């Protein structure tokens, strides 16, 4: 199916910095009826280290199970990545596990890399066993070449309406280091885990444990801080690869000050990709950042932010350009977190709708209406005297979301 | 605003059994711009006992705060009820509390009943202080008379498209006892508390503690087992009044066997009203019962049932008459409850879509498509070997829901 490009899409795909030694190929295995690439194969140079974060959905999927086991077995040694769109290979039992393994063995034979050093990622319909014979048939025609990022990002799309990429350049102890990443995701997007598929690459020589620590920490404020519909996929996965081509001095601790610039750059890339996913939220017409302040803890603030972001009544009001702050207050109240209702305030941009537990004296309907017509909204709520805070991103809930998801399989 | 009547509405308002001594009046105070009654005043005979369950939303509202305090102060002694639609008087601070109290004092003067023996319930827009002068102006024109249930139920509607009532007759120790109730609710409906407004009356002579125990227990499988959109209102409230006109023998323990028939009848009335609210879910075209079996506990089963019932992807698939069981599996997995994925089964009516952690061998797309066209659906999932089970009711998510809620205030 083809959808019109999201009105919130960036003007163009960004130019990503080069990651030395990376190769890729894309092709069409035929998981979709219509013409479109649906397979991405990537090869990394020897010495590459990898880390991943995966869905916490209890059902999971064959590819996420594979990645977790393979990363543990190889201690982060990974040389390749096989991604397919159109079939999630989730809830497919032992047959799905076997199909995943066969696909990786075929890819490994082509690349001359053991299967356990290849990560797998699948996205698409749940409950259908991966037809690995389609991948086996496609492999001989794939020619590995330097990565063309826009094409690689497009090959992993499902209901996405635009390809998503982000990159950054920074220094580690004076050595220039590059980061480039791609992601897909549009529906079944919820926080509290690695959400959707994202693959991020750096040329920095960093160990697997350091990659893992940084990835976990920075995922929290990026992919784990977005939500389109509160539905957490079975196949979510973010992988971070470090090819080691940029010879930075050995660093053994993720807390090392020399990683500050890298951490910031990684954080920027992950958040950029995460926000692009919200921008491509199914049916979205508004990008909304929700800030919660004054909560008992950051964790509590995040629960409140998520409740606001996932409230159908808040999301439909935003779609209708209605500054219905009463629904935001309702959502604060139903988050089951400690709040002081006489301190609750709700602000749209700089405009106060509510303050000190009541409608704000300075409430200006005309100014508020004008603000709500914007494409990007900033909602800030105060819930008490605490120091806990969180920032989460979401989109509005429109008829188009219902339309897209009422006939996904047909 | 007027909405077309829900396609899931019952054919007609039921005939409710008489509750001796009850009187009511309805009128228009003008909380809505358009012509419609928006106030219900009820009077109960001396000796009436009452119990209530109220929203657990932390923001709450002036009327629910009042009811909780008044019921505690009078130990369940309550003689009257004042309900208004069009203004929730929630998040209105001390000004809202004062307005609520003034309205009840005015009603008390008319009825010659102390204000603290009158319960208040409000429903409508959040954040607007109740204009009690409108109620004071209306009161002199209200003439108390035997209850006309359809009119009483209609006076408390907001976005409801039909008036909701249910009744039952049973015996306590050989004495015939009647139960009659009305409810309102259509959006901002979620479980885990007393949801929406419901007022239930019996002529049985039962103590306030017994009423409270029975109401709490039976609310769990009725109002606390429905969800339209997962958004829990600030004003939810279920009140149960016993006028004591049916002179049953004194009963001191809610566990008394002689209450079995009454408990069942009360349960039937509450569930009937609860399901009517789902039938009037904003934009609903399908009534869906979700059964969860094999969970670790009933509480765990209920969390899973709620996650399925509130998943936008499940709800939009149902709107599209798509038996997208993969999304149900996703929702089971994201409920963060102990499940055994190799035991997961999903059934639509008697048709198995999935079994033993995989698509079912007997899956029949044609039979499934035919089933999905029904107006009432029964979805049953097995999640493991446990004995925990739950049953929850929801409706589908349609474009109409988005439409209704995109311009509620305008």
Cβ-defined contact of A344 to B91 (cutoff 8 Å): yes
Mean per-residue pLDDT for B219-247?
Answer: 76
CA A300 to chain B, closest CA, distance in angstroms equals 14
Judged by a CB distance cut-off of 8 A, whether residue B403 touches chain A is yes
Cβ-defined contact of A127 to B95 (cutoff 8 Å): no
Mean per-residue pLDDT for A285-291?
Answer: 93
Closest by CA to B110, choosing from B177, B54, B42, is B42
- What is the pLDDT at residue A191? 37
Give residue B113's pLDDT band: very low, low, confident or very high (50, 70, 90).
very high
* Chain A residues inside the 8 Å CB shell of B234: 329-330, 333
First to last CA, chain A: 10
Over 90: is that where the pLDDT of A119 sits? yes
pLDDT in tens, A302-359: 999 989 998 888 999 999 999 989 889 988 988 889 999 899 999 999 999 999 988 8
- What is the pLDDT at residue B1? 45
- What is the pLDDT at residue A188? 63
Over 70: is that where the pLDDT of A408 sits? no
Closest by CA to B216, choosing from B71, B17, B100, is B71
Give residue B114's pLDDT band: very low, low, confident or very high (50, 70, 90).
very high
Mean per-residue pLDDT for A88-105?
Answer: 94
Over 70: is that where the pLDDT of B191 sits? no
Q: Are the beta carbons of B183 and B210 closer than 8 angstroms?
A: no
For residue B56, indicate whether it is catalytic. Answer: no
- What is the pLDDT at residue A313? 87
| Closest A-chain CA to B92 | A358
Over 90: is that where the pLDDT of B402 sits? no
Mean pLDDT score of chain B:
88
- What is the pLDDT at residue B118? 96
Q: Kindly list the distances between the CA atom of residue A177 and the CA atoms of A150, A230, B147, in Å, as whole numbers in the listed order.
A: 21, 35, 78
pLDDT in tens, B305-338: 989 998 888 999 999 999 989 889 988 988 889 9
pLDDT in tens, A167-180: 889 998 888 999 99
- What is the pLDDT at residue B3? 64
- What is the pLDDT at residue A22? 92
Place of tokens 């977790």: A68
- pTM for the model: 0.81
- What is the pLDDT at residue B150? 95
Q: Which residue among B195, B219, B234, B243 is the active-site one?
A: B195
Cβ-defined contact of B401 to A316 (cutoff 8 Å): yes
Side-chain-facing half-sphere of A145: CA atoms under 13 Å: 10
- What is the pLDDT at residue A194? 32
Q: Are the beta carbons of B311 and B394 closer than 8 angstroms?
A: no
Over 80: is that where the pLDDT of A27 sits? yes
Over 90: is that where the pLDDT of B199 sits? no
Mean per-residue pLDDT for B60-69?
Answer: 91
H/E element, B246? strand B237-246
- For Cα atoms A376, A378, A383, give the angle at the middle one, nearest 5 degrees: 160
Mean per-residue pLDDT for B227-239?
Answer: 71
Give residue A199's pLDDT band: very low, low, confident or very high (50, 70, 90).
confident
Over 50: is that where the pLDDT of B352 sits? yes
- What is the pLDDT at residue A388? 96
The distance from CA A329 to its chain's CA centroid, rounded to whole angstroms, is: 28
pLDDT in tens, A126-144: 888 999 999 999 999 999 9
Over 90: is that where the pLDDT of B37 sits? yes
Q: Which residue has the higher pLDDT, A224 or B212?
A: B212
First to last CA, chain B: 9
Cβ-defined contact of B59 to A408 (cutoff 8 Å): no
Give residue A31's pLDDT band: very low, low, confident or very high (50, 70, 90).
very high
Long-range contacts, B29-34 (Cβ 8 Å, 24+): B29/B84, B29/B86, B29/B134, B29/B135, B29/B137, B29/B138, B30/B134, B31/B84, B31/B85, B31/B86, B31/B87, B31/B124, B31/B131, B31/B134, B32/B85, B32/B86, B34/B1, B34/B2
Give residue A1's pLDDT band: very low, low, confident or very high (50, 70, 90).
very low
A 108-127: CB under 8 A from B: 125-127
Over 80: is that where the pLDDT of A193 sits? no
- What is the pLDDT at residue A232? 67
Give residue B383's pLDDT band: very low, low, confident or very high (50, 70, 90).
very high
Mean per-residue pLDDT for B202-209?
Answer: 85
Give residue A59's pLDDT band: very low, low, confident or very high (50, 70, 90).
confident
Q: Is the ipTM of this complex over 0.85?
A: no
Mean per-residue pLDDT for A191-215?
Answer: 73
- What is the pLDDT at residue A345? 95
- What is the pLDDT at residue B189? 57
**Which structure tokens are listed for B128?**
């607007």
- What is the pLDDT at residue B214? 86
- What is the pLDDT at residue B194? 32
Give residue B56's pLDDT band: very low, low, confident or very high (50, 70, 90).
confident
Most confident of A55-59, A65-69, B333-337: A65-69
What share of chain A in percent tops pLDDT 70? 93
Mean pLDDT score of chain A:
88
Q: Which residue among A48, A195, A382, A394 is the active-site one?
A: A195
Give the largest Cα separation in chain B, rounded.
70
**Which structure tokens are listed for B362?**
């007997």
- Most A CBs within 10 A among B123, B320, B365, hence the mutation to make, goes to B320
Strands A351-355 and A345-348 come out as antiparallel
CA B28 to chain A, closest CA, distance in angstroms equals 24
- What is the pLDDT at residue A409? 52
Closest by CA to A100, choosing from A78, A59, A129, A77, is A129
A32-41, A147-156, A276-285, B67-76 — which is least confidently predicted?
A276-285
Give residue A71's pLDDT band: very low, low, confident or very high (50, 70, 90).
very high
The rounded distance, in Å, linking the Cα atoms of B200 and B31 is: 24
- What is the pLDDT at residue B187? 66
């Amino acid at each position: 199916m083809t959808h019109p490009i999201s009105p919130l899409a960036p003007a163009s795909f960004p130019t990503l910095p080069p990651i030395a030694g990376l190769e890729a190929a894309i092709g069409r295995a035929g998981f979709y009826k219509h013409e479109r690439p649906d397979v991405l194969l990537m090869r990394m140079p020897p010495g590459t280290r990898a880390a991943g974060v995966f869905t916490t959905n209890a059902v999971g999927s064959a590819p996420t199970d594979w990645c977790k086991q393979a990363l543990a077995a190889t201690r982060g040694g990974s040389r390749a990545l096989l991604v397919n769109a159109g079939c999630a290979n989730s809830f497919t039992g032992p047959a799905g596990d076997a199909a995943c393994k066969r696909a990786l063995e075929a890819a490994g034979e082509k690349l001359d890399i053991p299967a356990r050093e290849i990560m797998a990622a699948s996205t698409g319909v749940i409950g259908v066993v991966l037809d690995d014979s389609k991948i086996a048939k496609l492999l001989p025609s794939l020619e590995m070449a330097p990565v063309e990022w826009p094409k690689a990002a497009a090959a992993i799309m499902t209901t996405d309406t635009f390809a998503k990429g982000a990159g950054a350049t920074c220094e580690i102890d004076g050595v220039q280091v590059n980061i480039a990443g791609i992601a897909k995701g549009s529906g079944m997007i919820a926080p509290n885990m690695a959400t959707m598929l994202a693959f991020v690459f750096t040329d920095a020589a960093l160990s697997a444990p350091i990659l893992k620590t940084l990835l976990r920490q920075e995922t929290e404020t990026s992919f784990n801080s977005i939500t389109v519909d509160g539905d957490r996929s079975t196949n979510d996965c973010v992988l971070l690869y470090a090819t080691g081509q940029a010879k930075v001095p050995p660093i053994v601790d993720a807390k090392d000050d020399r990683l500050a610039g890298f951490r910031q750059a990684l954080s920027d890339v992950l958040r950029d990709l995460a926000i692009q996913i919200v921008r491509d939220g199914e049916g979205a017409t508004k990008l909304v950042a929700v800030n919660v302040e004054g909560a008992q803890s950051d964790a509590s603030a995040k629960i409140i932010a998520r409740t606001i972001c996932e409230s159908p009544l808040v999301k439909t009001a935003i779609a209708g350009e209605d500054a219905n702050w009463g629904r935001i207050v309702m959502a604060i109240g139903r988050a089951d977190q400690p709040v002081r209702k006489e301190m609750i305030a709700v602000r749209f941009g700089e405009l106060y709708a509510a303050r000190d537990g009541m409608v704000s004296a300075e409430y200006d309907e005309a100014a508020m209406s004008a603000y709500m017509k914007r494409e990007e909204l900033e909602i800030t709520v105060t819930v008490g005297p605490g120091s806990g805070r969180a920032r989460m991103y979401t989109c509005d809930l429109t008829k188009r979301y219902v339309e897209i998801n009422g006939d996904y399989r047909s």
